[in-house]
Amino acid sequence: MAGLYVPAVPDALAQRRTISLTARQLTEQAAVRFPQRRCLLGLACITLSDPVVRLKDGDPRNFLAARAVPEMGAQVLAGGSLEVAGKPRYDPARGAFFVEAPEIVRLDYPDLSPAYLAQATELTRGLLVDYLRQTPLWVLDEHDSQQALAKLVLRQVEVRGGALRLVIGDDE
């Protein structure tokens, strides 16, 4: 029975090092996944667009701000903005990053009539949290040699120094 050939990772590639991704780079990668439209029973929908990723020194979470436009039935309502925070979670099989335990830290619909505000707020909360659990915010770019390497030997993910730091390789 023939064995499966698995190429060895050269020692130079297996050495421990860090790749830093800036908020701008992450925003650019997230933007290709937007706009996103999610609906509940086809009656109430939310469209998210214009994502912006922020990373704060001393905070292990990443922040995602976006424009939100709710719809009730066929009526498009006044849009607003939101910001979600959560720790990055890496799925090695997909080379993808998700927002773990997303928490809405800001949700504003300043021009929405009071009659729709509660419904739009609940719709946004439910659909957004569900979306972030299932859909990666960004995926490592296999055309970028450093990110392709990170997909193979990623050991740790953390937010530090205003960047998402990917620790790759082994200590030895």
Picking from 17-31, 90-104, 149-163, which range would have the lowest pLDDT averaged per residue? 149-163
Task: Give the number of other Cβ atoms within 10 Å of residue 78's Cβ.
Answer: 14
User: Measured at the alpha carbon of residue 87, what is the angle toward residues 109 and 103, in degrees to the nearest 5?
Assistant: 30
Q: How far apart are CA 154 and CA 172, in angstroms?
A: 15
The pLDDT confidence band at residue 113, using thresholds 50, 70 and 90, is confident
What average pLDDT is seen over the chain? 82
For 114-133, what is each residue's pLDDT tens digit?
A: 888 888 888 888 777 778 87
Q: In this structure, which topology does domain 26-141 adopt according to CATH?
A: Bactericidal permeability-increasing protein; domain 1 (3.15.10)
Please say if the pLDDT value at position 3 is more than 60: no
pLDDT 10s digits, 5-23 = 334 445 455 577 888 889 9
Burial 14-47 (b: 16+ CB within 10 A, else e): beeebbebebebbbebbeeeeeeebeeeeebbbb
Q: Has this prediction a pTM greater than 0.95?
A: no
Cβ atoms of 63 and 85 within 8 Å: the answer is yes
d(C-alpha 15, C-alpha 32), whole Å: 32
The more confident residue out of 24 and 92 is: 24
Q: Is it the case that residue 30 has pLDDT exceeding 90? A: no
User: Which residue type is seen at 34?
Assistant: F
